Chains A and B, each alone.
Chain A
C-alpha cells in the first residue's frame, strides 16, 4: 500500500556488490521498459489523437501521423478543433468544474469521517489495533462495483431506507426517499468507497505520534482540545495530505459511482468521457477530454509523487 511508504526510513548507502552483474541491468530494464511502453508511451498517443479528426471507420479517427516520411503533412493535419469544441460547449466546462466540486466536497467529508476513526484506532489498545486495521482494509478487498451496487438496493425509492423510515414512523406509508439518482447518492457512494483510502494514511501518521508530548501538554495545564489543535493535528498533517490526495485525484475522474448512483444531471468528467467514447464513438474528442483532465490533475499528481518520493 502507498500508505506504508509514508514513514521515512533512510536506507544506509552500502556499496552494491552486484554492481558489475548483468542480472542487475535486467532487474532495472524489465520493469522500466514495460512501464515506458504501456504507461508513458500511451500519453503521447492520446495527445496525438486528441489533435486528429473523427472518421467513421475502425479505428474511428483519421490518423495524423503515418511514418516519418510525411513529416510536413503531419503538421498540416494537426488542429485544435477538438479543444475548441470543448471550450465552446458549456457542457464540458461544467463537467470539469462539477467533478472538481464533487471531489473537493467528498474529500472534506472523508476527512471529517475518517479522522475521528483513525484517531480512535490510534488510541485503541496495541493488541486490538491490527484487528481494527484489518477491519478497515477488508471492505477494500471486496469489489468496488459490488459495494456501489449494494447502495442501489438501499437508496432506491422502494428500497430499504424507505422501509426503515416508514417502519420507525419518520415517513408515511406513501412517502419514499428520493436519494438515488441525485448528487447525495454520489457523495454517499464516494465516501463509502474511498473511506479506507483516507483512514489508513491518517492512522499511519497518528499511530507514530509520541504520547509523551500530549502528557507534557496536559501536565502544563493545556486543555485536551487545545492540545489536539496544537500537537496532534499538526503532527498528523502528512497523513492528512496523503489521504486527501489519494482520494481527491481518482474521485475527480470517477466513472462508476456517478454513473450508477447519480442522476442524468450529475455531470462528472469521467462519465462525459465514457459517453463520448462508448456511445458517441468520438475517440479524438474523448482523448482531448482526457488530456485536459490530466492537465487539471497534473499539479496534485506531481505533489503526490513528491511526497511519496520523500517517503520512499
Chain B
C-alpha cells in the first residue's frame, strides 16, 4: 500500500517535530556544562541550584496554590455552565451566554489580561494572589464547560428520568446519578484548568501584584536574561509532573471504562 507508507512517514516526521525539542530540553538539564552545545557529562548541579533558588521556589509554591484553587472554582463554574448550555436551552440571553463561553477560547490573551486588570483597578481591588485566581478561573471555566458539555451531549438521560419518576429530588438526582456519570469529563476539565493556570504567563502578568509572582512570570524574566540550564531543570520537573498526571489520568479512565464494560456485561448476563 502506497498510502500506508506515506502515512507512516508523515506521522514519524510530525511527531519528531513535536517531541525532539522537548527531549533535547530534558537531556540538557542534566548537562554539567553551562554551554548548550557542549556536553560536559551527566550532572544534577542545575537541580541543586534550582532547589536553592529561593525566588524560584516561592514562585513555584504560589503557582501550585493558584492552579489548585482556580482549577477547583473553574470546575464548579464550568460544570454549571455546561449544564446551562445543554439542559436549559430556553434561558433569556442564551446567545450572550454561549458567546461568553466560546469567545475566551480564542480571545488573544493580551486583551483578556488587560481588560480584566482595568476592571480590578476601577473597582479599587488590590492586585495580587486573588486577582490572578479570578483571572485564571474566568478563562479556564470556559474550557471546563466545553469538555463537560461534550459529555452531557452524549449522555443517556433514562437513568436520571427513572430517578426523578421515582420521586428523587432534582438536586439529589444530580449528585447521585448525573455527577457520577459525568465525573470523568469533570476530572478531565479540572486537569485541563490546572495545566492552563500552571502555563499562563500573559494574563497573570497583567493581573498579578506584589508577592504573587507565578512560575511562568519568573521563568520568563530569567529567559529574557539568557538561557540557563537551571531553567531546563525546572522545565524538566514540570514536564515530568504533567506526564505523570496525564498517564495516571488515562490509566484511571481506562480502568473505570473496563469496570463499566464488565458491569454491563454482567448485567446483560443477568
Contact = CB atoms under 8 A, between A and B. Distances in A.
A304 B25 contact: no
Interface in A272-312: 273-274, 277-278, 283, 286-287, 290, 293-294, 297, 300-301, 304-305, 308-309, 312
B62 to A, nearest CB: 16
Nearest to A283: B118
A31 B119 contact: no
A95 to B, nearest CB: 12
A102 interface: no
Interface string A82-126: 000000000000000000000000000000010011011101100
9 contacts: A40-B100, A119-B7, A139-B18, A141-B245, A146-B239, A153-B227, A195-B18, A199-B14, A293-B111
Nearest to A153: B36
Going nearest first, the 7 A-B pairs with the smallest beta carbon separation are A253-B108, A42-B115, A120-B7, A4-B150, A31-B81, A18-B170, A150-B21
Given A27-B83, A160-B36, A195-B18, 4 more contacts: A30-B80, A39-B104, A43-B115, A141-B242
Contacts of A245: 106
Contacts of B238: 142-143, 146
Contacts of A13: 89
B123 to A, nearest CB: 9
A253 B109 contact: yes
Contacts of B246: 138, 141
- Which of A35, A192, A249, A301 gathers most chain B CB within 10 Å? A35
B183 interface: no
B223 interface: yes
Contacts of A49: 118
Interface in B220-235: 220, 223-224, 227, 231, 235
A188 B6 CA distance: 23
Contacts of B21: 147, 150-151, 154, 192
Contact of A23 (B91, B146, B161, B171): B171
A21 B102 contact: no
Interface string B92-106: 010111111111111
Interface stretch (A68-76, A128-136, A233-241): A128-136
Interface string A47-74: 0010000000001000100000000000
Interface in A23-41: 23-24, 27-28, 30-32, 34-41
Nearest to B202: A255
Interface in B224-266: 224, 227, 231, 235, 238-239, 242-243, 245-246, 250
Nearest to A164: B37
Q: Bin the interface of chain A by size.
A: 35 or more
Interface string A201-221: 000000000000000000000
B26 to A, nearest CB: 9
A39 B15 CA distance: 36
Contacts of B134: 38
A120 B238 CA distance: 31
A286 B114 contact: yes
Interface of B: 3-4, 6-8, 10-11, 14-15, 17-19, 21-22, 24-25, 28, 35-37, 77-78, 80-81, 83-89, 91, 93, 95-112, 114-116, 118-119, 121-122, 134-135, 137-138, 141, 143, 145-147, 149-150, 153-154, 157, 161, 164, 170-171, 195, 198-199, 201-202, 205-206, 216, 219-220, 223-224, 227, 231, 235, 238-239, 242-243, 245-246, 250
Contacts of B98: 305, 308-309, 312
A287 B118 contact: yes
Contact of B110 (A154, A156, A163, A253): A253
Contacts of B141: 31, 34-35
B146 A45 contact: no
B84 A32 contact: yes
B36 A145 contact: no
A294 B106 contact: no
Contacts of B242: 141-142
A175 B111 CA distance: 41
Contacts of B235: 143, 146, 149-150
B6 A42 contact: no
A266 interface: no
Contacts of B99: 305
Given A38-B138, A120-B7, A260 B223 contact: yes
Interface in A1-32: 1-2, 4-5, 9, 11, 13-14, 16-18, 21, 23-24, 27-28, 30-32
B64 to A, nearest CB: 14
Given A1-B147, A138-B246, A149-B219, A293 B85 contact: no
Contacts of B14: 113, 116-117, 120, 195, 199
A7 B230 CA distance: 44
A294 B111 contact: yes
A254 interface: yes
Contacts of B77: 30-31, 34
A143 B157 CA distance: 37
Contact of B106 (A113, A249, A256): A249
